[in-house]
């Protein structure tokens, strides 16, 4: 009985396959190859959509809902579209943060200027933020490495930092680092937040998952143009593109980690008398910490990858130099800069371990694999 059934199913499959072949060849033979035949070439019915989007964005950014804004330079009120003002103020906020970290690392006056004025800086020669010496950064990396995972990591951190210093990529490396130091925590926070929301609400999950699928399959370059249009050129646009690119894996891994928690652990939390906030912060997130940490790792990796590409829209750092080297076919410089980026990546991966008691083997593996990946990626683009 069972055998006949099996054969039946088998035959069915064969028939289906045959049918598909027949239809396929029938179409091959009978559809006339002509540009006017809709079976041969479908006319581009909605080819105008991109233009419509262009027009819509143009309208949104330059004409939609003008509001009165006070301009301190000409001391008058001006009309400016709402959306542009909003995105520009977000940009300047992020830019200030990046600038601040950057000046701690490589020195400068812009942070001081934003609290005082250019005149003040010109008049007072002492008003200059000195750069951190490489010796400090290097020893800090070594100490951090040692405290997190002992001698091996300390050596790795030291060598990586030293490499950046002696190959003349110090300043761009620190610029990239400053961008990542801003983008990664923001990505982490947004990712964690949406991960928790998706865990709590089934509707939110159903809305988020397809969005994540799209976001993660989109090419990295496609984030650049919208970021540039809405936020302008510069480090801030690069940071925003980086944040958008790096957040999806964090959301996904947070959700995954929370879903993997055994129901009894949640129940134990509830029976201990946790309210919603206590349950989330003291039971669920700590229990899911392993997956969340892998998420943090991913965020840092994605940030460093995107920070390089963001040089196309004006982000300074290693990516910018890499772009210059690529444009002038300087193979040597390309390899060196890529390696600098890799060592930066190795260093940044430490931050995972801040949250963890013990460095898990997964993190070690992904650390080495992804650094190699990055190198290959950089060479590929060349």
Partner 1 sequence: MSTTSPVKSKVTPVIKCESIYKIFGPNAAKMFKGANGNVDSQAFQKAGCVVGVNNASFELFEGEMLVVMGLSGSGKSTLLRCISRLTEATSGKIFINGKDLLSMNNKELIEIRRNKMGMVFQSFALLPHKTVLENIAFPLQIKGSTTDKSISRAMEMVGLVGLAGRENYFPRELSGGQQQRVGIARSLAVEPDIWFLDEPFSALDPLIRKEMQDEFLRLQGVLNKTILFITHDFDEALRLADRIAIMKDGIIEQLDTPANIVLNPATEYVRKFTQDVPREKVLKIEAIMGPIKKMDELGELRVSKDSLIEVVAESVLSQADPVGVTNSSGDIVGSLDNLTVIKVLFGDKNSKI
CB 269, min distance to partner 1, A = 8
270 is an interface residue for partner 1 by CB under 8 A: yes
CB 167, min distance to partner 1, A = 41
Exactly one of 20, 265, 369, 379 binds partner 1 (CB under 8 A); which one? Answer: 265
CB 262, min distance to partner 1, A = 6
328 is an interface residue for partner 1 by CB under 8 A: no
Phi and psi (nearest 5°) for 322?
-60, -40
278 is an interface residue for partner 1 by CB under 8 A: yes
DSSP states of 211-257 = HHHHHHHS-GGGGHHHHHHHH-SSHHHHHHHHHHHHHHHHHHHHHHH
Exactly one of 271, 328, 329, 361 binds partner 1 (CB under 8 A); which one? Answer: 271
256 is an interface residue for partner 1 by CB under 8 A: no
Q: Is 296 exposed, middle or buried (0-12, 13-18, 19+ CB in 10 A)?
A: buried
72 is an interface residue for partner 1 by CB under 8 A: no
Cα–Cα dist 149/359, whole Å: 7
Q: Which is nearer to partner 1, 239 or 258 (CB)?
A: 258
How many residues bind partner 1, per CB under 8 A? 18
CB 190, min distance to partner 1, A = 24
Cα–Cα dist 170/163, whole Å: 9
Residue 297 · residue 348 · CB < 8 Å: no
268 is an interface residue for partner 1 by CB under 8 A: yes
90 is an interface residue for partner 1 by CB under 8 A: no
206 is an interface residue for partner 1 by CB under 8 A: no
275 is an interface residue for partner 1 by CB under 8 A: yes
CB 351, min distance to partner 1, A = 18
Annotate 45-73 with three-state secondary structure. CCCCHHHHHHHHHHHHHHCCCEEEEEECC
Residue 40 · residue 31 · CB < 8 Å: yes
277 is an interface residue for partner 1 by CB under 8 A: no
Site residues (CB under 8 A) for partner 1, limited to 49-68: none
272 is an interface residue for partner 1 by CB under 8 A: yes
CB < 8 Å & 24+ apart, contacts of 161-169: 161/134, 161/137, 161/343, 161/347, 162/138, 163/339, 163/340, 163/343, 164/340, 164/343, 164/344, 165/134, 165/138, 167/336, 167/339, 167/340, 169/318, 169/321, 169/336, 169/337, 169/340
Exactly one of 38, 72, 210, 273 binds partner 1 (CB under 8 A); which one? Answer: 273
114 is an interface residue for partner 1 by CB under 8 A: no
Residues that bind partner 1 (CB under 8 A): 262, 264-265, 267-268, 270-275, 278, 282-283, 286-287, 289, 357
């Amino acid at each position: 009985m069972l055998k006949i059934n099996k054969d039946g199913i088998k035959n069915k499959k064969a028939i289906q396959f045959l049918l598909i072949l027949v239809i396929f060849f029938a179409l091959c033979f009978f559809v006339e190859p002509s540009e006017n035949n809709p079976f041969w070439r479908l006319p581009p019915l909605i080819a105008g959509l991109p233009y419509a989007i262009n027009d819509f964005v143009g309208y949104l950014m330059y004409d939609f809902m003008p509001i009165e804004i006070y301009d301190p330079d000409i001391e008058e009120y001006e009309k400016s579209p709402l959306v542009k003002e909003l995105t520009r103020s977000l940009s300047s906020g992020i830019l200030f943060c990046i600038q601040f970290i950057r000046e701690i690392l490589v020195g400068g006056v812009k942070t001081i200027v934003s609290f005082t004025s250019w005149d003040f800086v010109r008049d007072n020669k002492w008003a200059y933020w000195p750069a951190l010496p490489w010796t400090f950064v290097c020893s800090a990396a070594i100490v951090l490495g040692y405290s997190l995972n002992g001698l091996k990591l300390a050596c790795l951190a030291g060598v990586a930092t030293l490499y950046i210093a002696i190959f003349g990529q110090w300043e761009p490396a620190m610029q990239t680092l400053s961008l990542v130091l801003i983008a990664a925590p923001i990505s982490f926070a947004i990712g964690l937040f949406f991960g928790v929301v998706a865990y709590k609400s089934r509707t939110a999950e159903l809305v988020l998952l397809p969005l994540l699928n799209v976001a993660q399959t989109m090419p990295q370059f496609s984030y650049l143009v919208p970021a540039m249009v809405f936020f302008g050129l510069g480090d801030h646009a690069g940071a925003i593109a980086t944040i958008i690119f790096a957040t999806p894996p964090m959301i996904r891994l947070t959700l995954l980690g929370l879903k993997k928690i055994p129901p009894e652990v949640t129940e134990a939390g509830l029976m201990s008398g946790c309210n919603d906030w206590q349950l989330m912060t003291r039971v669920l997130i700590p229990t899911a910490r392993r997956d969340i940490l892998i998420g943090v790792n991913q965020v840092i990796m994605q940030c460093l990858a995107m920070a390089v590409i963001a040089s196309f829209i004006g982000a300074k750092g290693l990516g910018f130099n890499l772009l210059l080297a690529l444009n002038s076919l300087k193979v040597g410089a390309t390899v060196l800069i890529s390696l600098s980026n890799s060592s930066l990546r190795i260093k940044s991966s430490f931050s995972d371990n801040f949250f963890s008691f013990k460095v898990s083997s997964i993190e070690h593996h992904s650390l080495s694999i992804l650094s190699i990946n990055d190198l290959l990626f950089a060479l590929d683009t060349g």
